Amino acid sequence: MNIHEYQAKELFAKFGVPAPQGAAATSADSFDRALESLPEGPTMVKSQIHAGGRGKGTFTNGYQGGVKFCKTKADAKEIAGKMIGQTLVTAQTGAAGRKVQTVYFTAASDIKKEYYLAILLDRTTSKPVIVASTEGGVEIEKVAHETPEKIFKVFVDPAYGLADFQVRELLFGLGLKGAEAKNAAQLIRNLYTMFWETDAAMVEVNPLITTPDGQVLALDAKVSFDPNALFRHPEIVALRDLNEEDPKEIEASKYDLAYIALDGNIACLVNGAGLAMSTMDIIKHYGGNPANFLDVGGGASKEKVVAAFKIILGDANVQGIFVNIFGGIMDCNVIAEGIVDAVKEVGLKLPVVVRLEGNNVAAGKATLVASGLALVSGDTMADAAQKIVKLVA
């Protein structure tokens, strides 16, 4: 689960991670009140959307840049007015862009040097890894590719926690000394505490900056959380912004369905993440284009399958449906009844190819045949994939 920068900065404040003073506003009426809390002078205006690349983004009204430096608070207020309520398109939003519903004002900082700092899970060692670099404010993938020697990593032993020597390793790597080193050490320790205690999946500060007076500040913040751990963090769940999510994905999550919208025209309804991914792959292999990833999971009820069909059909691009079920946990007959109910309930006109295998498959296939509906049966995944690709072509 992702949160906005201003929410991440509020969490930073709680855990003692210094960042420039800031205030968020959700409407033009509240700009004055937000700006009042900030000092006079240079101010940053930052559009709050979950996607990256905001600074280089373009609003659909033609205004350039979702992050702006302003010399005065008065300028900041004016610029914020051009952003709020407008749709920002960045390299990560897709062509549709995202509506800016919140603007974040921060006191602009004097930057001495920019760095990079992130904490995430390292899958190979099954430990949290802290990644730091002397190259901040740029794409870290690029740094990793071109100058890997400028990236420093420490792997934290979860039994002991972050050790002082590891913090020192990072500071020496970054070349920080004196007050800067002391402040950065405290920031890194506190950021790690936040990562660990909030069950974060990733915390990224890009850039982390030093100022001429020795401060170390998190200038930007990107934070996401482990969805499996949200049950024990109601305070994090409260930060979820449904405006940032695809309505179909929100609807799917209500039924505990894993759905991701794609841009093709063949919808998939599959059980199991691996099979769902490879169903998309096999559609592509035979020249089709998948419209979505959809894993109905184990133990799906009839209601769940009906809900899955409705979500799929909410996508106007869909021209055919491929149902691919290998019932291990799932009873194929439950799926079959769900398919029949859904097709009847929504008056489905699109071609549907069903491939059922596994638990109680004979009963499931009998249910499909007895329904009298025009459902095409596929024997294997390859057979079914070729049939649906042909039907929508």
Q: Give the footprint of other proteins on this chain (CB under 8 A).
A: 52, 92, 118, 120-124, 126-129, 131, 140-141, 144, 151, 153, 157-159, 196, 199, 201-202, 204, 222, 224, 226, 228-229, 231-232, 260, 262, 270-275, 277-285, 290, 293, 298-299, 326-329, 357-359, 380-383, 385
Q: How far is the CB of 372 from other proteins (least distance, A)?
A: 29
Residue nearer to other proteins on the CB measure, 70 or 283: 283
Q: How far is the CB of 136 from other proteins (least distance, A)?
A: 13
End-to-end C-alpha distance for the chain, whole angstroms: 37
Rounded to 5 degrees, φ, ψ at 356 are -115, 140
Residue nearer to other proteins on the CB measure, 50 or 77: 50
Residue nearer to other proteins on the CB measure, 256 or 303: 256
Helical (H) or strand (E) element with 204: strand 200-210
Task: Please state, in angstroms and rounded to a whole number, the distance separating the CA atoms of residues 77 and 318.
Answer: 43
Task: Please state, in angstroms and rounded to a whole number, the distance separating the CA atoms of residues 347 and 379.
Answer: 25
Q: How far is the CB of 158 from other proteins (least distance, A)?
A: 5
Residue nearer to other proteins on the CB measure, 144 or 313: 144
Q: In what order do the strands lie in the sheet with 103-107?
A: 22-25, 103-107, 43-47, 67-70
Examine the residue annotation and report whether 116 is marked as an active-site residue of this protein.
yes
Q: How far is the CB of 61 from other proteins (least distance, A)?
A: 27
Tokens of 365: 């296939």
Task: Please state, in angstroms and rounded to a whole number, the distance separating the CA atoms of residues 354 and 325.
Answer: 8
Examine the residue annotation and report whether 114 is marked as an active-site residue of this protein.
no
**Residue of 5, 204, 259, 337 with catalytic role:** 204
Residue nearer to other proteins on the CB measure, 79 or 257: 257
Q: How far is the CB of 295 from other proteins (least distance, A)?
A: 9
Task: Please state, in angstroms and rounded to a whole number, the distance separating the CA atoms of residues 260 and 125.
Answer: 29
Alpha helices, H only, the chain: 5-15, 31-36, 73-83, 140-146, 164-174, 178-197, 234-237, 247-254, 273-285, 302-313, 332-346, 361-370, 381-392
DSSP, collapsed to helix, strand or coil, labels residue 242 as: helix
Residues forming the active site: 116, 204
